A and B are shown apart, each in its own frame.
Chain A
Protein backbone atom coordinates (compact mmCIF):
# COMPACT_ATOMS: atom_id res chain seq x y z
CA UNK A 1 0.00 0.00 0.00
CA UNK A 2 2.62 2.51 1.10
CA UNK A 3 4.89 1.38 -1.70
CA UNK A 4 2.21 2.06 -4.27
CA UNK A 5 1.33 5.37 -2.70
CA UNK A 6 4.92 6.53 -2.73
CA UNK A 7 5.65 5.35 -6.27
CA UNK A 8 2.33 6.83 -7.36
CA UNK A 9 3.16 10.24 -5.94
CA UNK A 10 6.54 10.35 -7.66
CA UNK A 11 5.07 8.92 -10.87
CA UNK A 12 2.33 11.54 -11.01
CA UNK A 13 4.87 14.27 -10.25
CA UNK A 14 7.07 13.19 -13.17
CA UNK A 15 4.18 12.83 -15.62
CA UNK A 16 2.68 16.21 -14.71
CA UNK A 17 6.11 17.83 -14.81
CA UNK A 18 6.40 16.51 -18.36
CA UNK A 19 3.13 18.19 -19.29
CA UNK A 20 3.73 21.48 -17.49
CA UNK A 21 7.42 21.58 -18.37
CA UNK A 22 8.49 21.95 -14.77
CA UNK A 23 11.18 19.27 -14.74
CA UNK A 24 13.73 21.71 -13.34
CA UNK A 25 11.47 22.64 -10.43
CA UNK A 26 10.76 19.00 -9.66
CA UNK A 27 14.44 18.09 -9.58
CA UNK A 28 15.15 21.06 -7.32
CA UNK A 29 12.23 20.14 -5.09
CA UNK A 30 13.57 16.59 -4.68
CA UNK A 31 16.91 17.93 -3.51
CA UNK A 32 15.52 20.65 -1.24
CA UNK A 33 12.98 18.26 0.26
CA UNK A 34 15.61 15.74 1.25
CA UNK A 35 17.57 18.53 2.87
CA UNK A 36 14.45 19.75 4.66
CA UNK A 37 13.77 16.22 5.90
CA UNK A 38 17.20 16.04 7.49
CA UNK A 39 16.74 19.46 9.07
CA UNK A 40 13.41 18.34 10.47
CA UNK A 41 15.09 15.23 11.88
CA UNK A 42 17.76 17.31 13.57
CA UNK A 43 15.07 19.41 15.27
CA UNK A 44 13.21 16.23 16.17
CA UNK A 45 16.38 14.66 17.58
CA UNK A 46 16.38 17.30 20.24
CA UNK A 47 12.70 17.65 21.00
CA UNK A 48 11.76 14.01 20.73
CA UNK A 49 14.73 12.77 22.73
CA UNK A 50 13.70 15.22 25.41
CA UNK A 51 10.11 13.92 25.44
CA UNK A 52 11.22 10.29 25.33
CA UNK A 53 13.41 11.04 28.33
CA UNK A 54 10.55 12.65 30.21
CA UNK A 55 8.27 9.79 29.21
CA UNK A 56 10.69 7.29 30.68
CA UNK A 57 10.69 9.25 33.94
CA UNK A 58 6.88 9.27 33.91
CA UNK A 59 6.87 5.54 33.22
CA UNK A 60 9.28 4.69 36.03
CA UNK A 61 7.41 6.86 38.52
CA UNK A 62 4.17 5.00 37.75
CA UNK A 63 2.43 8.07 36.38
CA UNK A 64 1.75 6.45 33.01
CA UNK A 65 0.30 3.28 34.50
CA UNK A 66 -1.92 5.37 36.75
CA UNK A 67 -3.24 7.25 33.72
CA UNK A 68 -3.67 4.17 31.59
CA UNK A 69 -5.63 2.46 34.39
CA UNK A 70 -8.12 5.31 34.20
CA UNK A 71 -8.47 4.82 30.47
CA UNK A 72 -8.50 1.00 30.60
CA UNK A 73 -12.22 0.36 30.01
CA UNK A 74 -12.29 2.51 26.86
CA UNK A 75 -9.03 1.08 25.59
CA UNK A 76 -10.15 -2.52 26.13
CA UNK A 77 -13.21 -1.82 24.01
CA UNK A 78 -11.09 -0.30 21.24
CA UNK A 79 -8.33 -2.90 21.35
CA UNK A 80 -9.91 -6.24 22.34
CA UNK A 81 -7.06 -8.18 20.68
CA UNK A 82 -4.36 -6.88 22.99
CA UNK A 83 -3.65 -8.89 26.16
CA UNK A 84 -4.49 -6.94 29.31
CA UNK A 85 -0.91 -6.98 30.49
CA UNK A 86 0.47 -5.51 27.25
CA UNK A 87 2.66 -2.46 27.65
CA UNK A 88 1.10 -1.16 24.44
CA UNK A 89 -1.79 0.11 26.58
CA UNK A 90 0.57 2.42 28.46
CA UNK A 91 1.97 3.93 25.31
CA UNK A 92 -1.42 4.21 23.64
CA UNK A 93 -2.72 6.13 26.67
CA UNK A 94 0.28 8.44 26.64
CA UNK A 95 -0.11 9.01 22.92
CA UNK A 96 -3.81 9.80 23.23
CA UNK A 97 -3.33 12.17 26.17
CA UNK A 98 -0.49 14.02 24.45
CA UNK A 99 -2.56 14.29 21.27
CA UNK A 100 -5.58 15.62 23.09
CA UNK A 101 -3.44 18.29 24.74
CA UNK A 102 -1.99 19.25 21.38
CA UNK A 103 1.54 18.11 22.29
CA UNK A 104 2.39 16.51 18.95
CA UNK A 105 6.04 16.23 19.82
CA UNK A 106 5.26 14.14 22.88
CA UNK A 107 2.62 12.06 21.09
CA UNK A 108 4.85 10.72 18.32
CA UNK A 109 7.46 8.92 20.49
CA UNK A 110 4.71 7.30 22.57
CA UNK A 111 2.87 6.30 19.40
CA UNK A 112 5.98 4.72 17.92
CA UNK A 113 6.54 2.76 21.14
CA UNK A 114 2.92 1.59 21.01
CA UNK A 115 3.43 0.33 17.46
CA UNK A 116 6.59 -1.46 18.56
CA UNK A 117 4.74 -3.23 21.38
CA UNK A 118 1.89 -4.21 19.08
CA UNK A 119 4.38 -5.47 16.50
CA UNK A 120 5.87 -7.81 19.14
CA UNK A 121 2.48 -9.54 19.38
CA UNK A 122 1.98 -9.62 15.62
CA UNK A 123 2.28 -13.09 14.05
CA UNK A 124 2.72 -11.66 10.54
CA UNK A 125 5.35 -8.94 10.75
CA UNK A 126 4.49 -7.42 7.37
CA UNK A 127 0.75 -7.03 7.88
CA UNK A 128 -0.95 -4.61 10.24
CA UNK A 129 -3.07 -6.13 13.02
CA UNK A 130 -6.60 -4.98 13.85
CA UNK A 131 -5.26 -3.15 16.88
CA UNK A 132 -2.70 -1.32 14.76
CA UNK A 133 -5.33 -0.28 12.23
CA UNK A 134 -7.60 0.95 15.01
CA UNK A 135 -4.77 2.85 16.66
CA UNK A 136 -3.63 4.47 13.43
CA UNK A 137 -7.12 5.42 12.26
CA UNK A 138 -7.95 7.02 15.62
CA UNK A 139 -4.61 8.78 15.63
CA UNK A 140 -5.15 10.24 12.16
CA UNK A 141 -8.72 11.28 12.91
CA UNK A 142 -7.19 14.08 15.00
CA UNK A 143 -7.69 13.89 18.73
CA UNK A 144 -6.44 17.36 19.46
CA UNK A 145 -8.81 19.36 21.64
CA UNK A 146 -6.39 22.12 22.65
CA UNK A 147 -5.52 24.06 19.51
CA UNK A 148 -3.41 26.91 20.81
CA UNK A 149 -1.40 27.33 17.60
CA UNK A 150 -4.59 28.01 15.63
CA UNK A 151 -5.70 30.61 18.15
CA UNK A 152 -2.27 32.22 17.88
CA UNK A 153 -2.48 32.39 14.08
CA UNK A 154 -5.93 33.97 14.28
CA UNK A 155 -4.68 36.51 16.79
CA UNK A 156 -1.79 37.33 14.50
CA UNK A 157 -4.28 38.23 11.75
CA UNK A 158 -6.31 40.48 14.06
CA UNK A 159 -9.27 38.24 14.73
CA UNK A 160 -11.74 39.98 17.04
CA UNK A 161 -12.31 36.73 18.91
CA UNK A 162 -9.46 34.32 18.15
CA UNK A 163 -10.60 31.60 20.53
CA UNK A 164 -14.18 31.38 19.24
CA UNK A 165 -13.22 28.39 17.07
CA UNK A 166 -12.18 26.20 20.00
CA UNK A 167 -15.70 24.97 20.83
CA UNK A 168 -16.72 24.22 17.23
CA UNK A 169 -13.28 22.64 16.71
CA UNK A 170 -13.83 20.26 19.61
CA UNK A 171 -17.24 19.35 18.26
CA UNK A 172 -15.84 18.63 14.78
CA UNK A 173 -12.99 16.62 16.30
CA UNK A 174 -15.50 14.47 18.19
CA UNK A 175 -17.31 13.81 14.91
CA UNK A 176 -14.14 12.79 13.08
CA UNK A 177 -12.98 10.55 15.93
CA UNK A 178 -16.41 8.93 16.23
CA UNK A 179 -16.34 8.31 12.48
CA UNK A 180 -12.89 6.75 12.86
CA UNK A 181 -13.95 4.36 15.61
CA UNK A 182 -17.13 3.38 13.75
CA UNK A 183 -15.22 2.73 10.54
CA UNK A 184 -12.50 0.65 12.20
CA UNK A 185 -15.00 -1.36 14.23
CA UNK A 186 -17.15 -2.14 11.19
CA UNK A 187 -14.22 -3.07 9.02
CA UNK A 188 -12.57 -5.36 11.53
CA UNK A 189 -15.81 -7.31 11.78
CA UNK A 190 -16.02 -7.75 8.03
CA UNK A 191 -12.41 -8.78 7.77
Chain B
Protein backbone atom coordinates (compact mmCIF):
# COMPACT_ATOMS: atom_id res chain seq x y z
CA UNK B 1 0.00 0.00 0.00
CA UNK B 2 2.75 2.44 1.03
CA UNK B 3 4.84 1.56 -1.96
CA UNK B 4 1.96 1.87 -4.40
CA UNK B 5 0.79 5.23 -3.09
CA UNK B 6 4.22 6.81 -2.82
CA UNK B 7 5.49 5.23 -6.01
CA UNK B 8 2.51 6.51 -8.00
CA UNK B 9 2.92 9.97 -6.49
CA UNK B 10 6.62 9.96 -7.41
CA UNK B 11 5.80 9.13 -11.03
CA UNK B 12 3.19 11.90 -11.14
CA UNK B 13 5.65 14.31 -9.47
CA UNK B 14 3.35 15.31 -6.61
CA UNK B 15 4.63 17.23 -3.58
CA UNK B 16 4.40 14.27 -1.26
CA UNK B 17 5.35 15.75 2.07
CA UNK B 18 3.22 18.90 1.74
CA UNK B 19 0.17 16.87 0.90
CA UNK B 20 0.89 14.29 3.56
CA UNK B 21 1.04 16.96 6.25
CA UNK B 22 -2.13 18.58 4.94
CA UNK B 23 -4.01 15.30 5.07
CA UNK B 24 -2.60 14.35 8.45
CA UNK B 25 -3.75 17.68 9.88
CA UNK B 26 -7.24 16.89 8.74
CA UNK B 27 -7.00 13.40 10.24
CA UNK B 28 -6.03 14.98 13.50
CA UNK B 29 -9.14 17.16 13.64
CA UNK B 30 -11.35 14.26 12.58
CA UNK B 31 -10.21 12.19 15.54
CA UNK B 32 -10.75 15.07 17.93
CA UNK B 33 -14.27 15.41 16.52
CA UNK B 34 -15.17 11.75 17.07
CA UNK B 35 -13.46 11.48 20.46
CA UNK B 36 -16.51 12.47 22.57
CA UNK B 37 -18.63 10.04 20.56
CA UNK B 38 -16.20 7.27 21.26
CA UNK B 39 -16.05 8.05 24.97
CA UNK B 40 -19.85 7.94 25.20
CA UNK B 41 -20.03 4.72 23.27
CA UNK B 42 -17.32 2.92 25.17
CA UNK B 43 -18.82 3.94 28.50
CA UNK B 44 -22.17 2.48 27.43
CA UNK B 45 -20.56 -0.76 26.26
CA UNK B 46 -18.33 -0.96 29.34
CA UNK B 47 -21.17 -0.52 31.82
CA UNK B 48 -23.34 -2.98 29.94
CA UNK B 49 -20.60 -5.61 30.10
CA UNK B 50 -19.82 -5.00 33.76
CA UNK B 51 -23.47 -5.19 34.79
CA UNK B 52 -23.75 -8.79 33.60
CA UNK B 53 -26.66 -7.89 31.29
CA UNK B 54 -25.01 -9.62 28.34
CA UNK B 55 -24.57 -12.90 30.23
CA UNK B 56 -28.20 -12.65 31.26
CA UNK B 57 -29.28 -12.14 27.67
CA UNK B 58 -27.06 -14.96 26.46
CA UNK B 59 -28.60 -17.22 29.10
CA UNK B 60 -32.07 -16.29 27.89
CA UNK B 61 -31.49 -16.93 24.19
CA UNK B 62 -29.11 -19.90 24.49
CA UNK B 63 -31.80 -22.61 24.82
CA UNK B 64 -33.56 -21.20 21.79
CA UNK B 65 -30.35 -21.03 19.75
CA UNK B 66 -29.48 -24.58 20.78
CA UNK B 67 -32.91 -25.73 19.65
CA UNK B 68 -32.33 -24.39 16.14
CA UNK B 69 -28.93 -26.11 15.94
CA UNK B 70 -26.73 -23.12 16.66
CA UNK B 71 -23.63 -23.99 18.76
CA UNK B 72 -24.34 -22.69 22.25
CA UNK B 73 -20.72 -21.80 22.97
CA UNK B 74 -20.69 -19.33 20.07
CA UNK B 75 -23.68 -17.28 21.29
CA UNK B 76 -21.73 -14.83 23.50
CA UNK B 77 -19.17 -14.26 20.75
CA UNK B 78 -21.82 -13.66 18.06
CA UNK B 79 -23.44 -11.05 20.25
CA UNK B 80 -20.22 -9.40 21.39
CA UNK B 81 -18.96 -9.19 17.82
CA UNK B 82 -21.62 -6.58 17.09
CA UNK B 83 -20.67 -4.44 20.06
CA UNK B 84 -16.96 -4.54 20.73
CA UNK B 85 -14.09 -5.75 18.59
CA UNK B 86 -11.58 -6.21 21.39
CA UNK B 87 -14.01 -8.10 23.62
CA UNK B 88 -14.96 -10.32 20.68
CA UNK B 89 -11.30 -11.11 20.02
CA UNK B 90 -10.94 -12.10 23.67
CA UNK B 91 -13.87 -14.51 23.40
CA UNK B 92 -12.53 -15.88 20.11
CA UNK B 93 -9.16 -16.70 21.66
CA UNK B 94 -11.01 -18.30 24.57
CA UNK B 95 -12.78 -20.64 22.18
CA UNK B 96 -9.48 -21.43 20.44
CA UNK B 97 -7.93 -22.23 23.79
CA UNK B 98 -10.70 -24.52 25.08
CA UNK B 99 -11.87 -26.16 21.85
CA UNK B 100 -8.88 -25.68 19.54
CA UNK B 101 -8.88 -23.71 16.28
CA UNK B 102 -9.35 -26.87 14.20
CA UNK B 103 -12.49 -28.06 15.97
CA UNK B 104 -15.86 -27.47 14.33
CA UNK B 105 -16.50 -24.64 16.74
CA UNK B 106 -13.06 -23.14 16.14
CA UNK B 107 -13.57 -23.16 12.39
CA UNK B 108 -17.09 -21.84 12.61
CA UNK B 109 -16.15 -18.85 14.77
CA UNK B 110 -13.15 -18.12 12.51
CA UNK B 111 -15.40 -17.94 9.47
CA UNK B 112 -17.99 -15.95 11.36
CA UNK B 113 -15.46 -13.41 12.59
CA UNK B 114 -14.39 -12.71 9.01
CA UNK B 115 -17.89 -11.92 7.73
CA UNK B 116 -19.27 -9.80 10.56
CA UNK B 117 -18.53 -6.30 11.81
CA UNK B 118 -18.77 -4.20 14.97
CA UNK B 119 -22.09 -2.62 14.03
CA UNK B 120 -22.70 -0.29 16.96
CA UNK B 121 -19.24 1.19 16.97
CA UNK B 122 -19.11 1.83 13.22
CA UNK B 123 -22.59 3.26 13.12
CA UNK B 124 -22.04 5.67 16.01
CA UNK B 125 -18.73 6.95 14.78
CA UNK B 126 -19.79 7.49 11.17
CA UNK B 127 -23.19 9.03 11.80
CA UNK B 128 -22.23 11.16 14.76
CA UNK B 129 -19.20 12.53 12.92
CA UNK B 130 -21.65 14.30 10.59
CA UNK B 131 -24.25 14.85 13.35
CA UNK B 132 -26.97 12.67 11.90
CA UNK B 133 -29.42 11.35 14.46
CA UNK B 134 -32.19 9.85 12.30
CA UNK B 135 -30.51 6.79 10.86
CA UNK B 136 -33.68 5.25 9.32
CA UNK B 137 -33.26 1.63 8.26
CA UNK B 138 -29.47 1.47 8.72
CA UNK B 139 -29.44 -0.53 11.96
CA UNK B 140 -32.02 -3.02 10.70
CA UNK B 141 -30.04 -3.49 7.48
CA UNK B 142 -26.73 -3.94 9.26
CA UNK B 143 -28.16 -6.47 11.70
CA UNK B 144 -29.83 -8.32 8.86
CA UNK B 145 -26.55 -8.53 6.92
CA UNK B 146 -24.63 -9.74 9.97
CA UNK B 147 -27.30 -12.28 10.78
CA UNK B 148 -27.14 -13.55 7.20
CA UNK B 149 -23.36 -13.79 7.57
CA UNK B 150 -23.59 -15.81 10.79
CA UNK B 151 -26.09 -18.26 9.29
CA UNK B 152 -23.98 -18.54 6.13
CA UNK B 153 -20.86 -19.25 8.23
CA UNK B 154 -22.63 -22.03 10.04
CA UNK B 155 -23.89 -23.65 6.83
CA UNK B 156 -20.58 -23.20 5.01
CA UNK B 157 -18.54 -24.62 7.89
CA UNK B 158 -20.90 -27.60 8.12
CA UNK B 159 -20.67 -28.43 4.45
CA UNK B 160 -16.98 -27.73 3.78
CA UNK B 161 -15.15 -29.28 6.73
| Residue ranges of A at the interface with B (Cβ–Cβ < 8 Å) | 1-3, 5-6, 9-10, 12-14, 16-17, 20, 22, 25-26, 28-30, 32-34, 36-38, 40-41, 44-45, 48-63, 101, 103, 106, 108-109, 111-112, 115-116, 118-119, 125-128, 132-133, 136-137, 139-142, 144, 147, 150, 153-154, 156-162, 164-173, 175-180, 183-184, 187, 191
Contact = CB atoms under 8 A, between A and B. Distances in A.
B96 interface: yes
Interface of B: 1-2, 4-6, 8-9, 11-12, 14-16, 19-28, 30-31, 34-35, 38-53, 56, 89, 92-93, 96-97, 100-102, 106-107, 110-117, 119-120, 122-142, 144-146, 148-149, 152-153, 156-157, 160-161
Contacts of A106: 1
A172 B23 contact: no
B52 A22 contact: yes
Contacts of A136: 122-123, 126-127, 135, 138, 141-142
Greatest chain B CB density within 10 A among A36, A136, A154, A171 is at A136
For the complex of A and B, 3 pairs with smallest distance between CB atoms: A56-B23, A33-B46, A52-B27
A53 B39 contact: no
A130 to B, nearest CB: 8
A29 to B, nearest CB: 3
B92 A12 contact: no
Given A20-B52, A115-B129, 18 more contacts: A2-B135, A9-B48, A10-B47, A13-B50, A13-B51, A16-B51, A33-B42, A49-B28, A51-B27, A53-B22, A53-B24, A62-B12, A112-B125, A133-B141, A147-B114, A172-B153, A176-B145, A176-B149
Contacts, number: 337
Contacts of A29: 43, 46-47, 49-51
B2 to A, nearest CB: 7
Given A1-B139, A51-B27, A125-B131, A168 B39 contact: no
Contacts of A51: 27
